[in-house]
Amino acid sequence: MQKTDLPANVSLLVPDDRYVQTMKPCKVLDIFDGGSTNFHEDGLFSISTFGRVGSEDRDLRFSFIDLRTEILHPYIYKNLVKLKGMYADVMAGKAYAVWDEELKELVASDAISGRTGYG
């Protein structure tokens, strides 16, 4: 038996803009509207976003939360760090690097000419 990195039912979701434009975003993290038992209109369990409870729509509709930041998928991060350990330090802000156009990769640098962090 061979060990795999991901369960068979997991894949990276890379939606294009046309797909995301049809989704209604979740704008609040509330489940219920105030002190009631009604789902919040823009919340995590919104009926207008996902459909009525128990309906097939609720199983098929998707939404998103705009985090206003860039996120690197953990699976991609893990594989980048396997390629070159320095990438972890650069993304964590512990090391500096510059892009080498000839090598087509990041190479170690100093704080003056290099950059650090993710993004």
Q: Where are the domains of the chain?
A: 15-68, 74-109
Query: CA-to-CA distance for 27 and 41, rounded, in angstroms?
Result: 9
pTM (2 d.p.): 0.55
3-state secondary structure the chain: CCCCCCCCCCCCCCCCHHHHHCCCCCCCCCCECCCCCCECCCCCCCHHHHCCCCCHHHHHCCCCCCCCCCCCCHHHHHHHHHHCCHHHHHHCCCCEEEEECCCCEEEEECCCCCECCCC
38/27 Cα distance (integer angstroms) = 16
Query: Which pLDDT tens digit goes with each residue over 32-91?
Result: 998 899 999 999 999 999 999 999 989 988 898 888 888 888 888 998 899 999 999 999
- pLDDT of the residue at 68: 87
Q: Which residue has the higher pLDDT, 4 or 49?
A: 49
Question: pLDDT class for 21, splitting at 50, 70, 90?
Answer: confident
Q: Write out pLDDT tens, residues 89-105.
A: 999 999 999 999 999 99
- The alpha carbon of 105 is separated from its chain's Cα centroid by a whole number of angstroms, namely 23
- Asked if 61 and 85 touch (Cβ cutoff 8 Å), the reply is no
